[in-house]
């Protein structure tokens, strides 16, 4: 089954404790991206990657890091989480053999709470 | 930063009514997408529009891309309770570059 998986699905942590949210896709997609979703603000892009070893900032990259060492994985790293990073996070991918217009295939989401 | 203004933010209607959701920007987009999201799940793609003036239909849903590729609309005919959800538009200025989402429209269709 074609899918994007994220782990963990739920996470409660404390300020300053480094964490990583993993994202993996099995569709051989070149493009992967991270978003955060907050009420009234829609989805805001954090980082995206057009291929292995290529990453670019989205609209809200501050406080986040990403890496793309393998095509299928795109982890999101919060080195020192703060309460304003409490949010619902989505990983997405697009691409593959059929040309597309960057239509995003989303994971199930990770709800993060930073105390 | 490209901005996409989506309206209305909330829409509560009765089953059988028609509705339109708008997505506007001052930027020109190479493509514009519409997604639907249900609680506890990630957004799911409904349609992509690429050509200025393009109209696409998906059963009772009609999507239109403005002639100047700066705006789009989603029209639902005879809404049903199953249409309830969050509708999001998203635009890309450059294919496979940064993707900008609108704030979303929460649609509730009452039986």
Q: What is the pLDDT of residues B16-72, one digit of tens each?
A: 999 999 999 998 988 899 999 998 899 999 999 989 999 999 999 999 999 999 999
pLDDT of residue A91: 97
| Residue (of B19, A7, A68) closest to B7 by Cα position | B19
pLDDT at B22: 97
- CB-CB under 8 Å, B99 with A45: yes
H/E element holding A57? strand A54-57
User: Residues of chain A with pLDDT > 90: what percent?
Assistant: 78
Q: Residue B64's pLDDT is what?
A: 97
pLDDT score for B73: 97
Read off the pLDDT of each residue in A58-71 and give the average, rounded to a whole number: 96
> Which neighbouring-strand residues pair with A92?
A33, A106
State how far the alpha carbon of B56 is from the alpha carbons of A106, A115, B52, B59, B85, in Å: 22, 45, 12, 10, 20
Tokens of B8: 């209305």
pLDDT in tens, A83-97: 999 999 999 998 865
Average of per-residue pLDDT across A37-51: 90
Q: Note whether B42 contacts A48, CB cutoff 8 Å.
A: no
Q: What is the pLDDT of residue A102?
A: 78
Retrieve residue B50's tokens.
Answer: 């690429």
What is the pLDDT, as a whole number, of residue B82? 95
B50 → closest Cβ in A33, A35, A101:
A101
Say whether A104 and B35 touch across the interface (CB within 8 A): yes
Name the minimum distance, in Å, from the CA of A37 to any CA of chain B: 9
Span between the terminal Cα atoms of chain B, in Å? 40
Model confidence at A99, in pLDDT bands (50, 70, 90)? low
Closest among B27, B36, B67 to B49, alpha carbons compared: B67
Residue among A4, A101, A105 whose CB faces B48 most closely: A101
Q: Say whether B9 and A40 touch across the interface (CB within 8 A).
A: yes
The number of CA neighbours under 13 Å toward the Cβ of A29 is 28
Mean pLDDT of chain A: 93
Q: Does A89 touch chain B (CB under 8 A)?
A: no
Total beta-carbon pairs less than 8 A apart between chain A and chain B: 74
- Across residues A87-109, what is the average pLDDT? 85
Which tokens in the block code for residue B69? 């590729």
A95 CA to chain B: closest CA distance, Å? 9
CB contact under 8 A, A45 and B31: no
Query: Of A101, A106, A107, A108, which to mutate for an interface test with B (greatest number of B Cβ within 10 Å)?
Result: A101
- Pick from A30, A42, A59: CB nearest B88: A42
> What are phi and psi for residue B81, nearest 5 degrees?
-55, -30
């Amino acid at each position: 089954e074609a899918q994007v998986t994220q782990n963990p699905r739920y996470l409660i942590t404390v300020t300053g404790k480094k964490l990583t949210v993993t994202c993996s896709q099995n569709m051989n997609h070149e493009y992967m991206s991270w978003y955060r979703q907050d009420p009234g603000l829609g989805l805001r892009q954090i980082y995206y990657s057009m291929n292995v070893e290529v990453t670019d900032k989205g609209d809200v990259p501050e406080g986040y890091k990403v890496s793309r060492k393998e095509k299928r994985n795109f982890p999101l790293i919060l080195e020192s989480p703060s309460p304003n990073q409490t949010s619902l996070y989505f990983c997405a991918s697009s691409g593959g053999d059929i040309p597309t217009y960057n239509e995003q295939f989303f994971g199930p989401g990770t709800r993060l709470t930073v105390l | 930063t490209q901005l996409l203004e989506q309206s209305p933010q909330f829409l509560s209607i009765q089953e059988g009514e028609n509705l339109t959701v708008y997505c506007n920007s001052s930027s020109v987009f190479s493509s514009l997408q519409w997604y639907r999201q249900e609680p506890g799940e990630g957004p799911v793609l409904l349609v992509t529009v690429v050509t200025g003036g393009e109209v696409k239909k998906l059963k009772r849903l009609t999507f239109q891309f403005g002639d100047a590729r700066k705006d789009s609309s989603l029209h639902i005919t005879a809404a049903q309770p199953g249409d309830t959800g969050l509708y999001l538009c998203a635009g890309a200025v450059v294919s496979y570059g940064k993707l900008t989402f609108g704030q979303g429209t929460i649609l509730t269709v009452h039986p």
